[in-house]
Amino acid sequence: PYTTLFRSLVAGPILRTADLVPQFQRPRTATRDQLCWGLALMTVGLFEKVVLADGAFAPVADAVFRVRHPVGALDAWLGTLAFSGQIFCDFAGYSTIAIGSAMCLGFNIPNNFRSPYAAAGFSDFWRRWHISLSTWLRDYLYIPLGGNRKGEARTYANLMTTMLLGGLWHGANWTFVIWGGLHGLFLAAERGLKRAALRWTFLSGLAFNALLVLVTYILVNVAWVLFRAKSLPAAISILGGMAGLHPSAAAVLPTVKILETVVCIAGLLSAQWYMRNRTLETVVTQTSPRLIATAWACMMFAIIITQGRGNAFIYFQF
């Protein structure tokens, strides 16, 4: 551009501004389809954030994790499951709003979540959860450390180092470090079991995959306790409740809230299982336009009528 500008000053012809601006810096104009998709994605993101994360899951998680006395198994598990739903809907909603906003301006941003709670194993989980961060950890930590190219012992050490640093990235607190360490152990154990299971041909089929998804989801929720708890003693107390060590603890959640939470968690998991190997674009193109319009209107109505505190996005603190 500077050479062209110099020549124009010497030779005399007048150049247009567009001639001096590289193509990728020129203004973008969203197409009609991009605008419609962008608005739809923003609606989905707001529904996840306002209705599900803040309205349905946050009150339950806060009620359980803020108590100072031990909690029973039912309260501990429901509070943890509610937080897992809250952090997903909060962060996935934030990402979906950002993707939709960018699309309204003519930009296409890759998806950041792909049904992570339907993951079959922890390597699959990290390919589906916070894809931008997991990709960065892989490309700039795991691979430069040697990845899986320098023997099994070095591979396990690289997995642990990467996940410990990933946990520390979230905050200088032992709970985050242990959370990252747990995921490192999960990934290392999964790798070792996969190598041993190459000889076990019976470990296949829909039933085994469903069991693997369930085990992955349970262990991910165990790790979420350390992510949510304010301190290590608080996390140990919740984990003790999940293990049934506090059978005489006073109830925290009322029956109505328990039922609401179970329905919301079941709905979230059902949706993720259905979308496990599908994309939103495929589902929309295969669905009746009337049904799509009805679902869109229902989400907008739920967003409008939901009354809450308007919590900030969880990941704004990291």
Catalytic (active-site) positions: 170
| Site of tokens 């993951």 | 119
Tokens of 131: 């894809």
3-state SS assignment for residue 246? coil
Q: Which of 154, 151, 150, 116 is nearest to 134 (CA)?
A: 116
Tokens of 262: 């179970």
Contact of 106 with 29, CB cutoff 8 Å? yes
Nearest-angstrom CA–CA distance, 63 and 79: 8
Tokens of 261: 């939470």
3-state SS assignment for residue 150? coil
| Site of tokens 């000889």 | 199
Q: Which of 57, 55, 78, 56 is nearest to 251 (CA)?
A: 78
> Cβ of 17: how many Cβ atoms within 10 Å?
7
Tokens of 17: 């501004």
Alpha helices by DSSP H, listed for the chain, are 2-11, 17-20, 32-46, 58-65, 73-104, 122-128, 131-137, 152-170, 174-196, 206-228, 232-242, 255-274, 280-285, 289-305
Contact of 28 with 34, CB cutoff 8 Å? no
3-state SS assignment for residue 39? helix
